[in-house]
Amino acid sequence: MQVVIIGNGVAGNSVCSAIREVNQRARITLVSEELYPAYSACVLGEYLGGEIQRGRVFLKRIKDYRQQGIRILLGRRAIKIDVKNRKVYLEKKKILYDKLIVASGAESLIPAVDGTTREGVFSFKSLRDADRILAYRARRVVVVGSGPIGVEVSCALRRRNREVYLVELLDWVLPQVLDQKPALRVQRILEGHGIKVVTGEKVEKITGNYRVRGILTNKREIGCEMVVMAGGMRPKVSLAREAGAELGELGGIKVDRRMQTNLSGVYACGDCAEAPDPVSGETALIMLWHNARRQGMVAGYNCAGVRKEYPGSTNVVNVNVFEVPVFSIGSPVSALAGGGIEVIEKDRPHYYGRVVVADGKIRGAQFIGETEDMGVLLPAVRKRCGLENVKKIVDSPELLSLAPWYHKIKKYLT
């Protein structure tokens, strides 16, 4: 069997591990347009901020691929998939496949404003981006977008003593992850470390001739030498779409619970794929590391003939804001439609916590400062457990002694 994997991220590499667990003989070729062996995007912020050495972002060495018996083609881009003849075209090469796995990940969303091609404008997705940002001389930086990546970049560059502005279009920072009150708390931490946070302003233009000179929002002008665009990610699907792969409503490649696309012999996994969620009954596109990893494993097993189903994605985001952990699971209030929403809130000097309940079901939780026990809530959020049921457990010594870990969340629920 000849397996071709497009993408050297966590999804693609999990495919390799899963196949090798059950099949030593399959011939595996992994293609990546990036030049490096596998690395972790999640710790690029730590590298950018100087908290860890560059070498620690890598997950594999070239010789690890060889040891796994994987042929790796780095710096090579797949440009076309010929589904009928089962061929992948690279720039100067074509490879035949029996099974093809598209693990092409995500790409930065660059808003359509004037000036994004000027020198000094970066996105923050890859190791190359991190290297380039580090090498670029700039005293003042504007980060556009305050999602987890925007916040991470801001903290990292502030640690490097740059003057940092963080500009957010919506009304508060981390808008997809936090509700307003916890977000304001995060904003105070950012400001306490010297980051200038600007919310509710739209970036309209990046100024300068050849190089960046500043940005214009709908309210002001900020002079700067560098702009980092962190306005979000979107699944990278063009290759698969052109080959006839069906897309889902959220813009990812549509797959079933075994990670199969509508094309025969073609699987998709990771940030580029939109998988069914058995809990909600809809499809979900939650572009996170652990989801990519699990999807990669499932795709790998299935393509090696071992039937496995994807249990659905988990929405857990954690951001380290100057050593203060910020943690969010499930949905914030702002993402839940309809009424019947109840918020159980704990606002203390050293931590903040809120549990979001909708129609009696636990749907989300946000915590700042104290986060170690929050995992206990995760299965409850995932399965949308009733608040009353969980309370019943934490209130009964008998049930609690069967599931003792529930005690850890008692104080957050009452």
Ligand X SMILES: Cc1cc2nc3c(=O)[nH]c(=O)nc-3n(C[C@H](O)[C@H](O)[C@H](O)COP(=O)(O)OP(=O)(O)OC[C@H]3O[C@@H](n4cnc5c(N)ncnc54)[C@H](O)[C@@H]3O)c2cc1C
Between the alpha carbon of residue 37 and those of residues 20, 34, 287, 352, the distances in Å are 18, 8, 21, 39
Q: How far apart are CA 198 and CA 70, in angstroms?
A: 47
Amino acid at 11: A
Alpha helices in 160-221 (DSSP H): 180-192
Helix (H, G, I), strand (E, B) or coil at 172: coil
Residues 301-340, mask of contacts with other proteins (x by CB under 8 A): -------------x-x-x-x----x-x-------------
Binding of ligand X at residue 288 (CB under 6 A)? yes
Binding of ligand X at residue 106 (CB under 6 A)? yes
Per rule CB under 6 A, count of chain residues that contact ligand X? 33
State the minimum distance, in angstroms, from the CB of residue 364 to other proteins.
14
Amino acid at 189: I
Binding of ligand X at residue 300 (CB under 6 A)? no
Dihedral sign of CA atoms 383, 386, 387, 391 in order: negative
Binding of other proteins at residue 236 (CB under 8 A)? no
Cα–Cα nearest to 311, from 363, 271, 258:
258
Q: How far apart are CA 136 and CA 409, in angstroms?
A: 46
State the minimum distance, in angstroms, from the CB of residue 86 to other proteins.
31
Cα–Cα nearest to 29, from 93, 84, 115:
93
Tell me which of other proteins, ligand X, none is bound by residue 294, counting a contact when its beta carbon lies within the kind-specific cut-off of 5 to 8 angstroms.
Answer: other proteins
Per rule CB under 8 A, count of chain residues that contact other proteins? 37
Q: Which is nearer to other proteins, 15 or 144 (CB)?
A: 15
Task: Using CB under 8 A, pick the residue from 70, 321, 357, 374 that binds other proteins.
Answer: 374
Report the half-sphere exposure of 259 (CA within 13 A, side-chain side).
38
- How distant is the alpha carbon of residue 318 from its chain centre? 10
Q: Which is nearer to other proteins, 265 or 375 (CB)?
A: 375
What is the DSSP code (8-state) at residue 169?
S
Q: Can you read off the two tokens belonging to residue 28?
A: 């595996």
Tell me which of other proteins, ligand X, none is bound by residue 7, counting a contact when its beta carbon lies within the kind-specific cut-off of 5 to 8 angstroms.
Answer: ligand X
Task: Using CB under 6 A, pick the residue from 156, 284, 285, 287 that binds ligand X.
Answer: 287
Binding of other proteins at residue 205 (CB under 8 A)? no
Alpha helices in 243-335 (DSSP H): 289-303
Cα–Cα nearest to 253, from 239, 274, 277:
274
State the minimum distance, in angstroms, from the CB of residue 31 to other proteins.
21
Binding site for other proteins (CB under 8 A): 40-43, 46, 51-52, 56-57, 59, 289-290, 293-294, 314, 316, 318, 320, 325, 327, 371-376, 378-379, 397-398, 400-402, 404-405, 407-408
Binding site for ligand X (CB under 6 A): 6-12, 31-34, 41-42, 44-45, 77-78, 103-106, 124-125, 149, 236, 239, 270-271, 287-290, 292
